[in-house]
């Protein structure tokens, strides 16, 4: 089957007509499937709009063309839908999960997340995946009958488990959660709405997860080239990139550096999408799932890179870690950005009346942990711009972050 052709409907994809429903009962839409409705609710949420001023790697005012959380999210959604269409999966659920996967990210990218995690260390820490769940189940307050967006079970499952199971069947944390346990925001929620943390998520969620990796690799190369942190030829230390560059040079020997970089990114995305499609079809043929339950109960992921592409993708991440994420220019800004987050948390903790009125507790509402989590929720929802404005309001000196 060619890449551009849609696969026929499949028994192992999620069917909106067979959804496990929502935590709070609602009459079904007359015109939209359950998953399309979920996707529309994410798009119209406050948290989604705030992504436009949240850092991916470069703080928003460093340049108009660098990715933000919003543009990254849209690129993930485009790649995810392309894969879902080729595999015959539900595109609306896939898009929902792609659009919602970063809703819980705080300002200033991973530097902000690390700072907020440290601030909340005594109260369960901070995990952006758990925060995404809090956003869609609690913090969005747009509806008269419930907090959150009241998404379908399948959407909540995919947000929480797109990277795989979090526990075994006995409830013991596994994988990267083994040391510190299931993040508090998820652990609290499953106490009254079981998301079956022991199983794998749907193929739609697995597609969204791998699309995130593809988008990260491609657009961080693009942004790193734009920022002058490395050149197209510097990337030739990665065998896959060297091969792509050789083809581009042979085809377009006089191409300028900017267009060479753009062509490299385009070819890399195409290669990785085609690889995931081919590898996933092989795994589906081997596993032969006959239902979504078969996918969830399988012992491993089904949507994945081949071994060769996985090595190449790891090499790209390794290169970017050294040449981009740990570049002194980036690290210097991120250190200052992390201090902004830490300063804000400390100030709100010491002077709670500095919080906006709507974020103050009702009488007798807070214990110490609840107070810390409320401050964490407020800061996590900030854009880079708003965090800087708040810091300027509360402190005599604020770093320039450039």
Residue-wise pLDDT for 257-269, tens only, equals 999 999 999 999 9
Phi-psi sector, 364: left (phi>0), alpha (psi -120 to 50), beta: left
Cα–Cα distance for residue pair 152/150, rounded to 1 Å: 7
Cα–Cα distance for residue pair 309/291, rounded to 1 Å: 28
Residue 227 has pLDDT above 90, yes or no: no
| Mean pLDDT for the stretch of residues 139-154 | 96
Q: Which two tokens stand for residue 233?
A: 């030829």
pLDDT at 62: 54
Longest CA–CA separation in the chain, Å? 71
Would you list the domain boundaries of the chain?
Answer: 16-189, 209-327, 329-394
Are domains 16-189 and 209-327 of this chain identical in fold?
no
Q: Which of the four pLDDT bands, split at 50, 70 and 90, describes residue 57?
A: low
Q: Which of the four pLDDT bands, split at 50, 70 and 90, describes residue 245?
A: very high
Q: Which of the four pLDDT bands, split at 50, 70 and 90, describes residue 60?
A: very low
Rg of the chain taking only CA atoms, in angstroms: 22
| CATH code, 209-327 | 1.10.3410
pLDDT at 360: 86
Select the CATH number that applies to the domain covering 16-189 from these four: 3.40.50.300, 1.10.3210.10, 1.10.10.10, 3.90.850.10: 1.10.3210.10
Model-level pTM? 0.93
More confident residue, 208 or 400: 208
Q: Confirm if 68 and 54 have CB atoms less than 8 A apart.
A: yes
Which of 71, 320, 307 shows the shortest CA–CA distance to 217?
Answer: 320
């Amino acid at each position: 089957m060619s890449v551009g052709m849609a696969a026929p409907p499949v028994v192992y994809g999620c069917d909106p007509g067979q959804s496990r429903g929502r935590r709070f009962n609602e009459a079904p839409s007359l015109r939209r499937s359950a998953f399309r409705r979920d996707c529309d609710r994410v798009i119209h949420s406050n948290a989604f709009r705030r992504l436009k001023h949240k850092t991916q790697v470069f703080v928003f005012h460093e340049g108009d063309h660098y990715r933000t959380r919003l543009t990254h999210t849209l690129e993930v959604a485009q790649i995810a839908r392309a894969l879902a269409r080729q595999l015959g999966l539900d595109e609306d659920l896939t898009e929902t999960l792609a659009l919602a996967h970063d809703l819980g990210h705080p300002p200033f990218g991973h530097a902000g997340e690390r700072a907020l995690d440290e601030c909340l260390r005594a109260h369960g820490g901070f995990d952006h995946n758990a925060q995404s769940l809090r956003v869609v189940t609690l913090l969005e307050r747009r509806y008269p009958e419930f907090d959150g967006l009241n998404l379908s079970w399948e959407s909540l499952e995919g947000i929480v488990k797109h990277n795989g199971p979090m526990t075994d069947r006995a409830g013991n944390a596994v994988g990267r959660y083994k040391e510190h346990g299931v993040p508090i925001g998820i652990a609290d929620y499953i106490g009254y709405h079981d998301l079956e943390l022991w199983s794998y998520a749907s193929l739609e969620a697995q597609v969204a997860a791998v699309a995130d990796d593809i988008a990260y690799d491609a657009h961080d190369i693009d942004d790193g080239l734009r920022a002058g942190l490395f050149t197209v030829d510097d990337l030739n230390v990665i065998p896959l990139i060297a091969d792509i560059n050789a083809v581009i040079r042979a085809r377009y020997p006089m191409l300028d550096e900017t267009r060479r970089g753009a062509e490299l990114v385009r070819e890399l995305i195409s290669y990785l999408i085609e690889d995931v499609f081919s590898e996933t079809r092989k795994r589906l043929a081997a596993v032969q799932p006959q239902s979504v339950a078969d996918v969830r109960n399988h012992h491993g992921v089904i949507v994945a890179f081949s071994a060769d592409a996985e090595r190449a993708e790891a090499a790209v991440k390794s290169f970017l870690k050294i040449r981009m994420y740990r570049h002194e220019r980036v690290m210097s800004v991120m250190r200052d950005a992390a201090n902004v987050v830490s300063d804000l948390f400390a100030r709100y903790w010491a002077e709670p009346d500095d919080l906006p009125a709507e974020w103050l507790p009702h009488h007798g509402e807070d214990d110490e942990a609840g107070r810390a989590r409320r401050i964490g929720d407020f800061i996590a929802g900030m854009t880079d711009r708003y965090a800087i404005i708040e810091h300027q309001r509360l402190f005599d000196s604020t770093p320039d972050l450039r």
